[in-house]
C-alpha cells in the first residue's frame, strides 16, 4: 500500500497568512493526488485534483503543486472560513489512501 504522510499535523496561523501543507507519498503516484478540506461535523470537500487542478467553484486562493512523491497545498491568504482540517489522498493505485490530516487553527 502507498503511505501518505502529511506535514505538519497541525499549524497555527493568522488571517492573511500564506499557508503551505505538504504531502509525501511512499512511492511515486504521478499527479494522481486530491486535496480535501473538512470542517467539524461536515463532509470533506474536494479542492484540488490531479495535484494542481482547481475543482469547480473553489476559490483561486487555493493552489496545488507537485508530482511523483512530493506535493503541496498552498492557501495564498488565509481567511476565517479556511480554518479546517486538510487531507490529501492518492488515487494512483488501490487501496486509495489518505494522509493523516493537517489541522489549521487560529493563532
Task: Tell how strand 10-13 and strand 97-98 pair up.
Answer: unpaired
Of residues 17 and 98, the one with the C-beta less far from other proteins: 98
* The one segment of 11-19, 41-49, 67-75, 76-84 that binds other proteins by CB under 8 A: 41-49
- Which is nearest to 46 in space by CA: 31, 57, 34, 59? 34
Of residues 24 and 45, the one with the C-beta less far from other proteins: 45
State how far the Cα of 70 lies from the Cα of 83, in Å rounded to an integer: 23
Of residues 66 and 99, the one with the C-beta less far from other proteins: 99
Site for other proteins in 85-104 (CB under 8 A): 87, 89, 91-92, 94-101
Judged by CB under 8 A, does residue 17 bind other proteins? no
Q: C-alpha cell of 11?
A: 499549524
Judged by CB under 8 A, does residue 62 bind other proteins? no
Going by C-beta distance under 8 Å and a sequence separation of 6 or more, which residues neighbour residue 105? 10, 11, 12, 13, 83
* The one segment of 12-20, 29-37, 61-69, 70-78 that binds other proteins by CB under 8 A: 29-37
Amino acid at each position: 500500500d502507498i503511505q501518505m504522510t502529511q506535514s505538519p499535523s497541525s499549524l497555527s496561523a493568522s488571517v492573511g497568512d500564506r499557508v503551505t501543507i505538504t504531502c509525501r507519498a511512499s512511492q511515486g503516484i504521478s499527479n494522481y493526488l486530491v486535496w480535501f478540506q473538512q470542517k467539524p461535523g461536515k463532509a470533506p470537500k474536494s479542492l484540488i485534483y490531479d495535484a494542481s487542478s482547481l475543482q469547480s467553484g473553489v476559490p483561486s486562493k487555493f493552489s496545488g503543486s507537485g508530482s511523483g512523491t512530493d506535493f503541496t497545498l498552498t492557501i495564498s491568504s488565509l481567511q476565517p472560513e479556511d480554518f479546517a482540517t486538510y487531507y490529501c489522498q492518492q488515487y494512483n493505485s488501490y487501496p486509495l489512501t489518505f494522509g493523516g490530516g493537517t489541522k489549521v487553527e487560529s493563532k
